[in-house]
A and B are shown apart, each in its own frame.
Chain A
Amino acid sequence: MALRFYWHLSSTAAADRRRAEWGDGDRPWVPARDAGSRRLQINHYDYLTQVARAAELTGFDGIVIPDEPEGEEPWIVTGNLLRETRRVQLVTAVAPGSASGVYHAKMAASVQRFSGDRQGWLIDPRQGPEAGDAIDEAEVPARAGELLTLLDGVWGDGPFDQEGRHFVVEKGGFGDLVRGRRRPPVWLRASQAPDADLLAHAEVLLLDTRLSIEALGDFVSGARDAYPNLRIAARIPLLARAEAADVAVERGRTAPSADTLVGTYDEVAATLADLERAGLDIAVLSATNQIHEVHVAGEQVIGRVRAAAIAA
C-alpha cells in the first residue's frame, strides 16, 4: 500500500498559539468581539478547524489529535472536527486512566456513527498524578490491555463480562449502536515498548522515539521485520523549502531538532520514498505555524511523493 500521510495537529505550538483567541492579550490585535458580548466570536477552534481542513484539501489521509497537557482536550477536538471534515481519519489520543473503559468505547461509538468510521485511537497509557492518574508503573500495560479487550468486547451484541483490576463490566455490549461500524483501529507508541499481548490488539505501531533522520530508516526496517502484521507509522517533524538557500535561511531561523526532516521539497520527498521502501506505511508530519506548513507539506511534499509513485 502506498505511503499514507497524517498531520499531527498540535494545539500548543508557539507560532500557533498566537492564532485566534489563544494568544489573546499577547499580541497587538485580536479578532473582533461581538459588540453585545464579552466573549470573542472567533475562537481557537476556528483555527484548529482550518488547519484540519487544509490538511484534507491538500491530500492528507488523516489527522493525529495528541493529548497535550497544555492544549485542548483531544476528544473535544475530535468531536469538533468530525463534522468539519469529510474524509480524513481522526486519530484521537486516548488515556486509559481518564475515563471508564465503557465510556471511552461509548464516545467512540458516536464518533464512528457520526464520522463514517473515521476514528482511530492512539493509546497514551499513563498520564501521571497531576492528571489524577496515580497508577503503579507496573500496572500500566495491563490497564491498557484491559481497555482494549473491553473495546473489542463491548463493540458488538455481547453479553460481554470483564472482571479486571482496572475495568469491570457486566453484560456489556453496544448492539445496534455499533452494528456495521468499525471498531477504532488502535495505534500504540513504540516508545512505550508494548508487549505481545498489547500488540495483538493493535493495527498501527507509531515510531515516536526521537531519532536522527539517518537512524530512522533502520528503525523503520527493523520494526517492519519484527511486526509484519502491523502498519508502521513514524512521527516526522518537517522543514521543507523550495531551494537550498531557502532551507538554509529557515534552518538558521528555527534551529530544527535532529529528528526533523530538513531539505528542499525534492530532498524530503526522496527521503520519504526511501522510508516507504524500508517499510513505512504512515508518515505523521508535524511543524509549527501549521496553516502554512500544512500547505507546504500537502502541496509540495505529498504531491511529489505521489507523482513519483505514479511515474514509477
Chain B
Amino acid sequence: MSIDFYWRIPTHGCSSSIRERSFNRGDWSPLAPGNQTPGLVDGGPDGTSYLDHMAEIARAAEISGFVGGLLPSFPMTDDPWVISAALARATKAFRFMIAFQPGFLSPVRAARMSASLQRATNGRVVYNIITGGGGPAQRWWGDPFDHDDRYGRTTEFLDVMKGVWKDGPYTHKGRFYEVDNGALPPALAQEDLPTIYFSGSSEAALQSAARHADYYLSWLEPFGQLAQKFDQVKARTAELGRAIKCAIRVEVVARPTEEEAWREIELGFANVKAASRNEFGERRGDSVGVQRLAGLGVADARDWRDLIVSPNVWGGFSLLRPGPALGIVGSYENVAARLDELIGLGADSFILAATPHLEEAYRVGEEVLPLLGHRAVQRLEAAE
C-alpha cells in the first residue's frame, strides 16, 4: 500500500528557524535583520507578496516528492481558496489540501468553487474539512452554532454539496440548508469530487466522518493513544458501513544526528517567554482534540527535557509556534523509524511540516522519506 506524504504551506508567514518564534518570512513583521519582508524593497512595494513565497514552498514540496500540501485556515492566515486558485498555474503536480469549515460557504457555492478549482488545477483539489474549534474564534468567524450542531451541519453540508455536484438536479430541505433543483453545469459536474480529509475527535465528528470522509486526520498524539483512536475510528466507521483511512499531521525536526536535532529544540525552548507558556495554558473553545492534549503539562515545563513524551517525540511544539504540541525530533533515521512505527499503528497518510518550510521540504523529502520502510527491510535481510 502506498502512503501519501503531504507538506504544509504556512499561510500566516514562516520563520527562517524553529529557534525563533517570529514570522520573519512574510509581510507580517517589520523590516529587521534577518527579515525577508517580501513586497518591500527600499521601503516601497516591489510587486511581490507573501503569495510568491508560498508558491516557492509549494514548488519545493512538489520537487521533493510530496503529493501536495495542507493550507490551514485561521483568523489571521491568508485564505486557502484564494491561495490555491492563485497557485494553480504556478505548480504542476502539487495537490491543494484546502482547510475549510462548512459554515463558511453555502454547499452549492462550495461545489461550484471546488469544481471550478478542479478544472483550473487539472484535478488537484483535496479537502480538509474542519468543523471548528468553537469559542470566541467561532463567533469571530460569524458562526453562532454549538459543537454538536456544527457536526450535524457538516454532515448535511457534505450531503448537499455532493448531491448538487453529482446527482443534480438535486432538491433538499433540511435543518441547515434548502436547495431546489440545484445542479452544476455539465463541464463542472464531470469533475471528480475532492478526496476528503476530516478532522474531529468527538462522537459527533466520527458519525459525520463515517458518512463522508476518505481520511480521518489527527494531530500527533502519544503513540498508544493515537493507535487506540485509529482503531476506534476504523471500528466505528465500519459499524456505520464505510471504510476509512487514517492520516497524521505532524511537525518534524530532522537533522543528520539526533544531538543536532535536540539542540534545535533546546535553543527554541530557551527563547520561549513565560508569557507564551501561560498563553498555551489558557484553553478556549470546545475542541475535543485540544482537550485530549491538555494533560501534557506544557505550561509548567521549566526544562525542554520535561516535555519528551517518548523516544523522539517532544510535546512542546506549541510553545515554538501556534499549533499542536507533539512533534518528532531526531536524526533522519530516527524520524523515518517513528514514521514507520506510525504506519504500523495504522497511518495511511501524513501531513508533515518543518521550519523553514521551503528548505526543509527538500531536507525531509530527500533525507527522511527515502529511508521509510528500510528498517523493516534491513531486519528481514539480517534474519536471513
Interface residues of A (CB under 8 A from B): 22, 37, 39-41, 43-45, 49, 69-73, 75-80, 82-84, 86, 95, 97-103, 106-107, 109-111, 113-114, 116, 129-134, 150, 162, 167-172, 174-177
Assess the B105–A99 pair: CB atoms within 8 A: yes
Assess the B140–A43 pair: CB atoms within 8 A: no
Assess the B185–A79 pair: CB atoms within 8 A: no
* B contact residues around A77 at 8 Å (CB): 85, 116
Asked if B122 is at the interface (CB within 8 A of a chain A CB), the reply is yes
Q: Interface residues of B, CB < 8 Å — how many?
A: 58
* B contact residues around A78 at 8 Å (CB): 82, 85
Assess the A80–B120 pair: CB atoms within 8 A: yes
Asked if B123 is at the interface (CB within 8 A of a chain A CB), the reply is yes
* B contact residues around A103 at 8 Å (CB): 104-105, 141-142
Assess the B122–A132 pair: CB atoms within 8 A: no
For the complex, what is the distance from the CA of A113 to the CA of B142, rounded to whole Å? Answer: 22
For the complex, what is the distance from the CA of A98 to the CA of B185, rounded to whole Å? Answer: 17
**Whole-angstrom distance from the CB of A105 to the nearest CB of chain B?**
9
19 contacts between A and B (CB under 8 A): A72-B119, A72-B188, A76-B81, A76-B117, A77-B85, A79-B84, A82-B82, A98-B109, A103-B104, A103-B141, A109-B79, A110-B79, A110-B82, A114-B50, A116-B49, A168-B139, A169-B139, A170-B136, A170-B139
Q: B173 — nearest CB in chain A belongs to which residue?
A: A134
For the complex, what is the distance from the CA of A176 to the CA of B30, rounded to whole Å? Answer: 11
Asked if B278 is at the interface (CB within 8 A of a chain A CB), the reply is no
Interface residues of B (CB under 8 A from A): 27-28, 45, 47, 49-51, 55, 75-76, 78-79, 81-90, 103-109, 112-113, 115-117, 119-120, 122-123, 136, 139-144, 160, 164, 169, 177-183, 185, 187-188
Other 5 A-B pairs with CB < 8 A, given A103-B141, A132-B182:
A79-B81, A80-B120, A86-B47, A101-B142, A134-B178
**Whole-angstrom distance from the CB of A23 to the nearest CB of chain B?**
9
For the complex, what is the distance from the CA of A72 to the CA of B116, rounded to whole Å? Answer: 6
Assess the A107–B82 pair: CB atoms within 8 A: yes
* A contact residues around B84 at 8 Å (CB): 79
* A contact residues around B142 at 8 Å (CB): 100-103, 150, 162, 167-169, 172
**Whole-angstrom distance from the CB of B177 to the nearest CB of chain A?**
6
Assess the A76–B120 pair: CB atoms within 8 A: yes
**Whole-angstrom distance from the CB of A49 to the nearest CB of chain B?**
7
